[in-house]
Structure 1
Amino acid sequence: MRLSNLADYAVVTMSAAARHCGGGRVSAAELATETGLPVPTVQRLVSRLTAAGLLRSTRGAGGGLQLARPAAAISLADIVEAMEGPIALTTCVEGDDCSIDHECRVKPHWPLVNNVLRDALAGISLTQLALEGEPA
């Protein structure tokens, strides 16, 4: 399994935004500069992260972006799901048609696997991701 580039960039962007907690708002251009990502990419990420309720955007003088809730209350799973949708390793769990569905003995086990994966990602907070240097 591999995250899309946009999901990876969303984690990087949210980590940069988290480092501004308590310091006011930050612009998409500032986040682009800090992360090394192109401004249009960050703007697209910000739009999706705002729609998912992870960022809050304020227009006008003194406006900008800020986390919609504390960094400790935002998980890696939240960010990945905002970009990729529900965490699922196989499509059969989501109800998509499968040519071997009637013969598959593994299908009943995929929800457990998906839950373990989601729980692992949910156990990593944005606070941890925003730390400089080594992981906590």
Structure 2
Amino acid sequence: MLRLSKLTDYATVILSFMARDSKQVHAAMEIAAATGIALPTVSKILKLLVNAEVLSSTRGAKGGYALASEPERITVAAVICALEGPIALTECSISHQGCEQASGCGIRSNWSVINQAIHDALESVTLADLIRPAMVPEEILIPVASLYR
């Protein structure tokens, strides 16, 4: 099963909160209170996002954290990479050195294709997409009479 860590999940919650007012500078305590995520966890995530240049930080009394770019330019792939490292389904997607079977592997290039497709899909979704209200499909009505034909 492909699964992201809780930290990555929390990072999307934090960034979604920040993206709703993307020009605002937010303090870690404010983010923790607004999201319900513990302050030490928020602080750890903010540091990782600053290191990955997803966020910028400002010190001082009026300091805090802000998005480094507009929500439309921050991709889900960038967030995942900031928290998890490179997107890779298999070890050989990152490096061939960790696999004893690499020299005779006939499917390595296929994993690369799959990995790239997933990476491209995650690159196509932005923080702006995450904060848009979900589109709920309209109710589908099937006339009862049509069921008895």
TM, length-normalised to structure 1:
0.91
Counting only pairs closer than 5 Å after superposition, residues 27-46 of structure 1 correspond to structure 2 as 27-46=27-46
The offset of 1:135, in angstroms, is: 5.1
Tell me, yes or no, if structure 1 residue 126 matches structure 2 residue 127.
Answer: yes
Counting only pairs closer than 5 Å after superposition, residues 80-119 of structure 1 correspond to structure 2 as 80-95=80-95, 96-119=97-120
- Between the aligned residues of both structures, percent identity stands at 38
For the structure 1 residues 8 and 68, does the alpha-carbon distance in structure 2 shift closer, same or farther, using more than 3 Å as the test?
A: same
- In the alignment, the residues of structure 1 paired with residue 134 and residue 93 of structure 2 have an alpha-carbon distance, to the nearest angstrom, of 35
- When structure 1 is superposed on structure 2, of 40-49 and 30-39 the one drifting more is 30-39
Q: How many residues align?
A: 134
The offset of 1:101, in angstroms, is: 2.2
The 8 Å contact of residues 129 and 135 in structure 1, kept in 2 or not, is answered as no
Q: SS of the residue aligned with 2:25?
A: coil
Moved over 2 A (4+): 99-103
- When structure 1 is superposed on structure 2, of 99-108 and 33-42 the one drifting more is 99-108
Give the letter aligned to residue 49 of structure 1.
L
- In the alignment, the residues of structure 2 paired with residue 26 and residue 20 of structure 1 have an alpha-carbon distance, to the nearest angstrom, of 10
Q: What is the RMSD computed on CA atoms of the aligned residues?
A: 1.5
Q: Which has the higher contact order (CA 8 A, sep 6+)?
A: 1
Q: Which runs of 5+ in 2 are unaligned?
A: 137-149
TM, length-normalised to structure 2:
0.84
Q: Which has the larger radius of gyration?
A: 2
The 8 Å contact of residues 20 and 26 in structure 1, kept in 2 or not, is answered as no
**Cα shift readout 1:107-132 (whole Å, capped 9, x = no counterpart):** 1112211111011011111011123x
- In the alignment, the residues of structure 2 paired with residue 54 and residue 97 of structure 1 have an alpha-carbon distance, to the nearest angstrom, of 30
Q: Which runs of 5+ in 1 are unaligned?
A: none
Tell me, yes or no, if structure 1 residue 62 matches structure 2 residue 62.
Answer: yes
Tell me, yes or no, if structure 1 residue 25 matches structure 2 residue 20.
Answer: no
Q: SS of the residue aligned with 1:57?
A: strand
